[in-house]
Structure 1
Amino acid sequence: MNAISESPVKSPASDTNTRKILVWDIPTRVFHWLLVLSFGGAYLTAESESWRLLHVTLGYTMAALVGFRLMWGLIGTRYARFSTFVRGPKAVARYLGALLRGRPEHYTGHNPAGALAIVALLTLALAVSASGWATYNDIAGDRVQDIHEAVANVMLAIVGIHIAGVLVASWLHRENLVGAMFTGRKLGRPEDGIRSAWRSVGALLLVAVLAIWWTQWQSAPTPGHLADRPIASTKAGDHDRDGD
């Protein structure tokens, strides 16, 4: 493994030997924004009977996306691989300490704190998808529904922390990290960029997700049958209404 990809580099704002390089391949970017769409949509439709099918479909989409990301984290491009960006507790603590002091180390790929958030979000996405499937199929009753709601809320909190971290790091490094997840390009040394964006894999991932959506709509149960299925609520107030 190339040691450059594992180590922090000089801040791009102070390094004259930097330019925009390709860091995030298309499959990674497509996965990222589809997961944002799926989780956000599923969370917003969690309490609506009329949007039940959309909620369930987005939950299945999340599970499929995580499955792809786990595979791509093993065989994908340099900065997509877990072996490149997942680091130990000491590296995370050192980065967070530097971040609090306003002098965080710059990483071409994911920084240690971002890597921790990614691992947490992938784990929570699997948990919320599995508990949502169990809830939809009425397995284990209210207990699994409570777990589903709790995990969804924890995941939302981690998303908020992740967004805050990205904004702070963007400001401190004078680099648009949100924009980089659209363009795939960040400031870095020319030799550190990846060679291919893997457009074909990104297109296949998008087609696979569209196929999931089409299949769900084609096999949709009748409205009456769908309404009989339980749905998880993400608001504590629903428990109060259940007790009335």
Structure 2
Amino acid sequence: LAARVAWGFGGSRYARFAQFVRTPAATLAYARLALAGHAPRYLGHNPLGAWMVLALLAIMALLGFTGWLYTTDRFWGYGWLAHLHQSLGWALLACVALHVGGVLWTCLQHRENLVRAMLTGRKAPPRGDDVA
């Protein structure tokens, strides 16, 4: 988690938060285009993928924090904290499933291997179609 946050501030161009986090309005517009089957191709994260990255990081941070709190004398045995921690775990699994589904959908939509791009940090340049 710490490595990804650091990479988001000092990593390569398309890994930086400043490059890929879009406004909620832009993200909603992208979601509408995506549902209509006309989502533009991005060399970096698309707006929905960017917000998913932030959601995954936030949930992982909260999951770690609530897990640590449960080990302290002050919060040991609190049912609400255990429930919150468990709910965050399920939320993380749901977000991972949505993220994988979004990656697969985008791979099919744009006919490209996003998994390779995630691992290598490289993506094919524009093909003349709409690239954002």
CA distance in 2, matches of 1:73, 1:186: 18
**Aligned residue-pair number:** 124
Q: Percent same amino acid at aligned positions?
A: 41
Q: Which residue of 1 aligns with 2:125?
A: 188
Q: Which residue of 2 aligns with 1:73?
A: 8
Q: Which residue of 1 aligns with 2:87?
A: 150
Bigger-Rg structure (1/2): 1
TM-superposed CA distance for 1:138, in Å, is 5.2
Q: Which runs of 5+ in 2 are unaligned?
A: 127-132
Q: Which has the higher contact order (CA 8 A, sep 6+)?
A: 1
Structure 1 outlier segments of 4+, above 6 Å: none
CA distance in 2, matches of 1:119, 1:184: 18
How do 1:163-202 and structure 2 match up within 5 A? 163-189=100-126
TM-superposed CA distance for 1:168, in Å, is 0.5
Q: Which runs of 5+ in 1 are unaligned?
A: 1-65, 190-244
CA distance in 2, matches of 1:183, 1:127: 29
Q: Which residue of 1 aligns with 2:130?
A: none
CA distance in 1, matches of 2:73, 2:102: 38
TM-score by length of structure 1 reads: 0.48
TM-score by length of structure 2 reads: 0.86
TM-superposed CA distance for 1:122, in Å, is 0.5
CA distance in 2, matches of 1:145, 1:138: 14
CA distance in 1, matches of 2:96, 2:34: 18
CA distance in 2, matches of 1:172, 1:76: 27
Aligned-residue RMSD, C-alpha? 1.4
